[in-house]
Amino acid sequence: DITGANAAAEANEGGNRKVSTELIAREVKRRRTFGIISHPDAGKTTLTEKLLLFSGAIQLAGTVKARKSGRHATSDWMEIEKQRGISVASSVMQFEYRDHVVNLLDTPGHQDFSEDTYRVLTAVDSALMVIDAAKGVEEQTIKLLNVCRMRNTPIITFMNKMDRETRDPLELLDELESVLKIQCAPVTWPIGMGKNFRGVYHLLRDEIMLFKAGEERADGNVEIIKGIDNPKLVEMFPLEIEQLKMEVELVHGASHPFNLDDFLAGIQTPVFFGSAINNFGVREILNALLDWAPAPGGRDATVRSVTPTEEPFSGFVFKIQANMDPAHRDRIAFLRVCSGRFERGMKLKHLRLNRDIKVSSVVTFMASSREQVEEAYAGDIIGLPNHGNMQIGDSFSEGEMLQFTGIPYFAPDFFRVARIRNPLKIKQLHKGLQQLGEEGAVQVFKPVTGSDLILGAVGVLQFEVVASRLLNEYGVDAVFEGTSISSARWITCDDKKKLADFEKSSAGANLAVDAAGNLAYLASSGVNLRLTQERWPEVVFHATREHA
C-alpha cells in the first residue's frame, strides 16, 4: 500500500524516532497483560487489591474496595452501580513488579455484561481465574473460561478463601477438570482449611509456607519450612501433616505435573491455593504470571499478522468508556498496543476513517491514577480521549492499512423500543443512544422504515444502565417498551442485485441499520428468521459481526 508506506515514512521523518528494534524487543519481553475472571463474590476485587499492594503500586488497603460502591447489592440497580464501580474506576491498571510491567484488566463479573467481558479478553495474553474454594466452579466461571478458550488464552487458577471451610481440594480439582475441561496442575497444596488452615505446600519447590492471618500485611512475608519430611512440621501440626502427606501422594499420582507448553497452549492450568484477604498465596500468583505467562504475542489483522516487536506502531480499540469522570464528560477509547512504540504527541492513522489524527493527552492507567503516556509498547493499554470518532474494533497504525480481527459484537437476545416522555428531547435521545451504541453499552438499530430506535442487548441489565445513563448524562427521560422482535442477524450478500431484491421484498421491512452502519435483519420469531433464510439463500445472516 503506497499511501500507507508514505505516511509511515513521513511519520518517521517527523522527529528523532530512531527506535532500535532491540529496545522494543526488550520492552515487549518484560510485559505481561492479563485479565482476572471470576464469578461475582469469589474475591476478584480483593485479589486485585492485594496484587497492587504487593507490587507496591498502592500503599493502602481499601483503595480498590472503596471504589466499589455498595458492598451488598440490594437491587439490580445496586448491582449495576457495583459493576460500574469496578469497571469504571479500575478497569485497567498498570504496575511494575520484578522489573516487569504488568497490565491488569478487570472484567465485569455479571453475565449481562458478558459482551464487554469478551472484548476485554481479546486484549489480554493470559487470564487469572479466581475460584471460591467453598463454592467451586460457578456459572460465570464456566462462561468466562469458554471465552478464554476461544483464543486458547493461558489460565492461572487461584483457589481462594482457604481460611474458610471449603470443599475438599481434590474434589475441587476434579470438578475443574470435568466441568471446565481443563487439565489441572496443582503447584501449591493446602494444609488444612478454615480454622485449621496452616498454609500451603509448594509441590515444585518442596517447601511449606506457613499461613498467618492478617489483612494488612502488604509485604506478604511468610515463614518457610523446607521439605515435607522436616521433623519440625510434625511437632507443629502432627494431624494436618499426616493428611498432607497422604494427599500429596494422591496428587502426584492422580494429577498432571506442571508443563509450561501445555499451560501456554491453554490445555492446562497451574492451580494455587490461598486466601486473598489475608494476602496469602498472592506472591506465588504474581511470580507465576511473570515466570510462566506469555509476553505479548502476535495479532492477526486483515492483511497479515503483526509481530509485537516490529517497529511501526499499531493497535486496536477494545473498549470505549464515556463519562468515566462526570466532572470531565470525557470519552476514552481503550487501545491495546500490538506493535512498535507509542510516544507522546505521535501522529496516528485512524484506519476506518483513513485519516491521520493527532491524539493529545493520551493517558495510561496507573493503579491509583491516570497519567500522561510518555511511551507504550505491545501489551500496554493506552486511553485515547475522543469525541465520538472512535469505535470498538477501530485499528490504528503509522500508516499501514491493517485492520485487527477478532473483536466481535454478538447478536442481541433482548429488544426494546426507545421512547421519550418529552418529544423536545428527541435530538438528545438520538445523540445519547448513538454514543452509548458506539461505546458498546447497548446495540442500537434504526429500522429502515419508521422512526423508532430499537435497542438490543445481550443481558437485560444493559437496558437499566442505558436508561439511567441517558437520564444522568444526557438529561433524557426515556422509557423502553417491549417489541415483537426476537432476534437479530447482520446481513451481507456478495450479489449486489440480490441484496437490492431482498431490500425491496417484504422482508425488507424488517431491515435496520446499527450504530456502525451495518445492515441487520430483525426477526419477529425463530420461524420467521428460518423461513427468510431459506427464501434468500444468497443472503448471509450473521449471529456475530466483527468491526465494520
Q: Residues interacting with ligand GDP, by CB under 6 A?
A: 38, 40-46, 109, 160-161, 163-164, 275-278
Strand 341-343 versus strand 408-410 pairing type: unpaired
Contacts of 331 (CB under 8 A, 6+ apart): 320, 321, 322, 323, 385, 386, 387, 388, 435, 439
Using the minimum distance from each CB to ligand GDP, give the nearer residue, 41 or 311.
41
8 Å CB contact between 197 and 309: no
**DSSP states of 200-213:** EEETTTTEEEEP--
What's the closest the beta carbon of residue 138 comes to ligand GDP, in angstroms? Answer: 11
What's the closest the beta carbon of residue 44 comes to ligand GDP, in angstroms? Answer: 3
Using the minimum distance from each CB to ligand GDP, give the nearer residue, 163 or 394.
163
Using the minimum distance from each CB to ligand GDP, give the nearer residue, 41 or 174.
41
Q: Which of 350, 346, 378, 351 is nearest to 362 (CA)?
A: 346
Using the minimum distance from each CB to ligand GDP, give the nearer residue, 69 or 178.
69
Contacts of 270 (CB under 8 A, 6+ apart): 156, 157, 185, 186, 187, 258, 263, 288, 292
Using the minimum distance from each CB to ligand GDP, give the nearer residue, 156 or 467.
156
8 Å CB contact between 185 and 258: yes
Using the minimum distance from each CB to ligand GDP, give the nearer residue, 279 or 510.
279
Strand 268-273 versus strand 183-186 pairing type: parallel
What's the closest the beta carbon of residue 226 comes to ligand GDP, in angstroms? Answer: 26
Rounded-to-integer distance, Cα 302 and Cα 404, Å: 6
Phi and psi, residue 520, nearest 5°: -135, 150
Rounded-to-integer distance, Cα 381 and Cα 363, Å: 9
Interaxial angle between packed helices 44-55 and 282-291, expressed in degrees from 0 to 180 and rounded to the nearest 10: 70
Rounded-to-integer distance, Cα 207 and Cα 340, Å: 41
What's the closest the beta carbon of residue 162 comes to ligand GDP, in angstroms? Answer: 7
Using the minimum distance from each CB to ligand GDP, give the nearer residue, 121 or 519.
121
Feature table: binding site for GTP: 38-45, 106-110, 160-163
Q: At CA 111, angle to CA 110 and CA 112, rounded to 5?
A: 95
Using the minimum distance from each CB to ligand GDP, give the nearer residue, 48 or 391.
48
Rounded-to-integer distance, Cα 470 and Cα 460, Å: 16
What's the closest the beta carbon of residue 417 comes to ligand GDP, in angstroms? Answer: 34
Rounded-to-integer distance, Cα 524 and Cα 89, Å: 39
The CB density around residue 343, as the number of other CB atoms within 10 Å, is 15
User: Cell 471460591 belongs to which residue?
Assistant: 132
Q: Does the CA dihedral 291-294-94-156 come out positive or negative?
A: negative
Using the minimum distance from each CB to ligand GDP, give the nearer residue, 195 or 387.
195
Backbone Cα Rg of the chain: 25
User: Cell 522436616 belongs to which residue?
Assistant: 230
Using the minimum distance from each CB to ligand GDP, give the nearer residue, 161 or 545.
161
Q: Which of 544, 265, 266, 267 is nearest to 406 (CA)?
A: 544
User: Cell 477478532 belongs to which residue?
Assistant: 406
Q: Which of 329, 381, 328, 385 is nearest to 92 (CA)?
A: 381
